[in-house]
Amino acid sequence: MAGLYLHIPFCKRICAYCDFFKEVGTARMPVLTDAMHRELEHRREYLGEEPIRTRYFGGGTPSLCPPELLDGLLEHAARIFDCSHVEETTLEANPDDLSPAYLDALRRIGIDRLSIGIQSFDDDCLRLMNRRHNATQALQAVRDARNAGFENISVDLIFGIPGFGGDSLRRTLDRTLELGAEHISAYHLTIEPGTAFGRRAERGTFDPVDEEVSEAEFALVHETLTRAGFEHYEVSNFARPGCRARHNAAYWNGSKYLGIGPAAHSFDGRERHWNVASVERYINGEPPETETLSDRDRFNEYVMTRLRTAEGIDLRDAEARFGSERTDRLKKLASAWLQSGTVTFSDRHLNIPAPKMLLSDAVIETLFET
C-alpha cells in the first residue's frame, strides 16, 4: 500500500519560523494545479500496481486551494491509481481558512482528516510567530470542523518558543485537550537560517531556549498529553488510541509514496526522487532529481525513522533486512546509551523511551554507519 502526497506551496503570509518550501500569494493556484495534473499523468506508472492507502495535501497552505481544484486532483488520481482502499485523506489547514462553507465542501470531496496549524493558544505568541489567526479563530475552526462532520482532527503545536513556556504552554496544552482532537503534533521550535527568527538570531535579538528549558517543556508536553490518554508514538506525535497518522507512518515504515507538486519527494522502495523547489521551474516541467539509496543509506534511514517511534527497532526485522553484521554493530554502538536509560533493550527491541525522545537525534547520529 502506498501514499500520495500533493504539495500546495502557497501561503498568505510567512510565519517567522518557517523554512518549508512556499511562496506568498495564490494567483498561480490554477496554473500550478494544471502542472500537477500533468505530473500525475507523467508518473502514473510510479507506484506499479500498488494501491493507494493514504492521500495528503500538504504545504504551504492547502486550505487556500479552492475545493474544486483539490477535487480535480483527487479525481485524477483515482482514475490512474487504485484508490479503492484509501483509508485516510488529510488536508493541512490554517484555522482562519476554515469557514463552514469551505469545511462542507471539503467533506463532500472526500477529505476526512484535517491537520490544523494552531501552534499556540497565546495570542502574543501567535503574533510573535507572525501567524495570521488568533486563539478565538482556532477554537472556532475546530468547532466548525466538528459541526461539518470531521471526526479525525489533528492539531499542530510549537513549543520551545522563548518567553512562551511555563503557564503559556500549559494553557495551550489545556485548551488543546478541551478541543478533544484525535491527534496532536507538537514540534520544538528550530531557529532556521533564512527565516525571520533566524535573521533576528543573527542580529542577536532572538535566542533559542536553553537545553534545560527544552527538556522541561518536552517533559510537560509528554506528561500532559499522555496523562490525558494520548499515546506518544513518535518524537513529535501523540494520538488517541487508534488515531495515529497513517500517512506519516508510511514514511517511517519505508512504504512507497508518490509526491506531486514543487519540492515534493517520492520513494519507490529503491530510489528517492524530489521535485524542484521552484513554482516557476516546476510549472515549466523540470523533471525530478533522483538518488539511488545505497545499502548504507537505507540502513541509516531505517535506524533514524524507527528510533523516532515508540516501537523502536525490532532487531529480528533489522537482521532480516540488513544482515547480522550490521545489526550486531548497531547493538554494540547502542549499548553506550543503555546505562543512562536513553536507550532500552528488551525482547530484541531497541527503543528510546518516550520521555527521552527529545534526545533522539543526538542518539541516532551516533548509530549511523559512516
What is the smallest separation between the CB atom of 94 and ligand SF4, expressed in angstroms?
A: 6
- Phi, psi at residue 267, to the nearest 5°? -145, 125
Please choose, from the candidates 128, 135, 125, the residue with its C-alpha nearest in 3D space to the C-alpha of residue 116.
135
What is the smallest separation between the CB atom of 348 and ligand SF4, expressed in angstroms?
A: 40
| Ramachandran assignment for 312, one of left (phi > 0), alpha (psi -120 to 50 degrees), beta (any other) | left
Please choose, from the candidates 129, 131, 134, the residue with its C-alpha nearest in 3D space to the C-alpha of residue 197.
129
What is the smallest separation between the CB atom of 165 and ligand SF4, expressed in angstroms?
A: 20
What is the smallest separation between the CB atom of 261 and ligand SF4, expressed in angstroms?
A: 13
The SS3 assignment for 195 reads: coil
Residues near ligand SF4 (CB under 6 A):
11, 14-15, 18, 20, 22, 59-61, 94, 117
> By C-beta, is 96 or 301 nearer to ligand SF4?
96
- Phi, psi at residue 139, to the nearest 5°? -60, -45
**Beta strands 2-8 and 237-239, pairing class:** unpaired
> By C-beta, is 58 or 312 nearer to ligand SF4?
58
What is the smallest separation between the CB atom of 141 and ligand SF4, expressed in angstroms?
A: 14
What is the smallest separation between the CB atom of 198 and ligand SF4, expressed in angstroms?
A: 13
Please give the grid coordinates belonging to residue 14: 510567512
* Residues linked to residue 344 through DSSP beta bridges, in sequence order: 351
> By C-beta, is 20 or 102 nearer to ligand SF4?
20
What is the smallest separation between the CB atom of 249 and ligand SF4, expressed in angstroms?
A: 22
What is the smallest separation between the CB atom of 147 and ligand SF4, expressed in angstroms?
A: 24
> By C-beta, is 23 or 301 nearer to ligand SF4?
23
Cβ 179 vs Cβ 230: under 8 Å: no
- Residue holding cell 506528561? 223
What is the smallest separation between the CB atom of 61 and ligand SF4, expressed in angstroms?
A: 5
Alpha-helical runs (H) found in 266-334:
279-283, 295-307, 315-322, 324-334
> By C-beta, is 61 or 236 nearer to ligand SF4?
61
Task: Give the residue at shortest CB distance from ligand SF4.
Answer: 18
> By C-beta, is 20 or 368 nearer to ligand SF4?
20
> By C-beta, is 25 or 323 nearer to ligand SF4?
25
The SS3 assignment for 56 reads: strand
CA distance 305 to 287: 27
> By C-beta, is 18 or 201 nearer to ligand SF4?
18
Cβ 31 vs Cβ 283: under 8 Å: yes
How are strands ordered across the β-sheet holding 349-351? 313-314, 349-351, 344-346
Residue 51 makes CB contacts below 8 A (sequence gap 6+) with: 1, 2, 81, 82, 83, 84, 85
Please give the grid coordinates belonging to residue 247: 500517512
> By C-beta, is 260 or 359 nearer to ligand SF4?
260
